[in-house]
Amino acid sequence: MMISSILFFFFLAFTPCCPITDVAADDCRYTASFTGVSGDDTRDNDPGSAIPLAIADPYVIYDGKTGVYYAYGTSAPDGFKAYVSEDLVHWRQADTQLGGGYVLRKGHSVFGDANFWAPEVWKTGDTYYMLYTADFSLCVARSSSPLGPFVQPEEPYCLVQGAIDHTLCIDDATGEYYLCFNATRNGRNSIYMARVEKDFSSMAPESEWRLCLTTDPGTWEEIQNQIIEGPFIIRHGGRYYLTYSANDYRSQDYAVGYAVSDTLFPGRWEKAADNPILRRPAGLVGTGHSSFFTGADGQLYIVFHAHPDRESYDPRHMYVSRAWIGEDGTLKVAEDCTPAFLIVE
């Protein structure tokens, strides 16, 4: 079976284009043009109808058949909610079977009691899989819809304990599925990779994990704590790009870097000389835990969270920026960014 994330940007040639919306660079957090893609929205930044979309570790997929974007992220203490949009600016809480926007919830045939973090949604055939962290464990649930409910049809289980933030990638050469994730082993917080069964029923034992990346002392990666997390992998031009976030998420210096390898597993990951590629854009702080998707216009985008202001780190807010891979093979992120707004109805 071929797997897709509905965002199958992996084989595209990426070039920059216009931003999603007209955003003031000096105050990206609060300024956006509420015209939308169709031009028929007249809210005009009415503060009574929209508030910042407060989700961390955001993940977005685009359904080209319906023209709808779906956003997931870390927000609720007992599961995950979904949000829908047609323009990447205005978002509404999804109408879901579980109610309250929930697509996965504690106590509804899933593993986990707390610490529900960093969901991703992938599709195989007619089945949607949600990769998520709960109880500091790597988990997978399934659904027939991107709006859930995502459940584990048999006894709730996790793939492995003591690891978080798993993302999926497929080896072009072998067709094997791999999870890339964060774990602390031998006193170091690092990014690892391991093979996973195509039905996500099990993954390779720890003895077969491969170390991808760890932080470099004395660099931007260790300004506050020794943490490297939030991996995401894209493919372009026969190469793999592994993005990651470094520093404590509570730090204003939380930022995104990347490494490149010609092979996925075992990869030989070389960090980019121009790292970090996302750090304090347009005056934002705490920017990180990113993922990528292709929009309706064929443009590659990066979605990430940032602190709500310079005095606090929660609740984190969702933003979107343009991204592209240049002719020299380097991954670029635009300085301008678009805040996501939740429409209050």
Concerning whether 229 is annotated as a catalytic residue, the answer is yes
Alpha-carbon gap, residue 296 to 62, rounded angstroms: 7
Q: Are strands 90-93 and 341-343 parallel, antiparallel or unpaired?
A: parallel
β-bridge mates for residue 179, sequence order = 168, 194
Alpha-carbon gap, residue 84 to 118, rounded angstroms: 17
DSSP secondary structure code for residue 303 in this structure: E
Residue 233 half-sphere exposure, CB side, CA atoms within 13 Å?
30
Concerning whether 57 is annotated as a catalytic residue, the answer is yes
Alpha-carbon gap, residue 275 to 267, rounded angstroms: 19
Residue 37 half-sphere exposure, CB side, CA atoms within 13 Å?
14
Alpha-carbon gap, residue 289 to 230, rounded angstroms: 5
Which member of 87, 221, 229, 336 is catalytic?
A: 229
Reference 31, options 22, 18, 42; nearest CA is 22
The helix (run of H) or strand (run of E) holding residue 317 is strand 317-325
Q: Cα torsion at 23, 338, 89, 253 (round to 10°)?
A: -140
**Residue 193: CB atoms within 10 Å:** 27
Alpha-carbon gap, residue 250 to 307, rounded angstroms: 8
Catalytically annotated residues = 57, 229
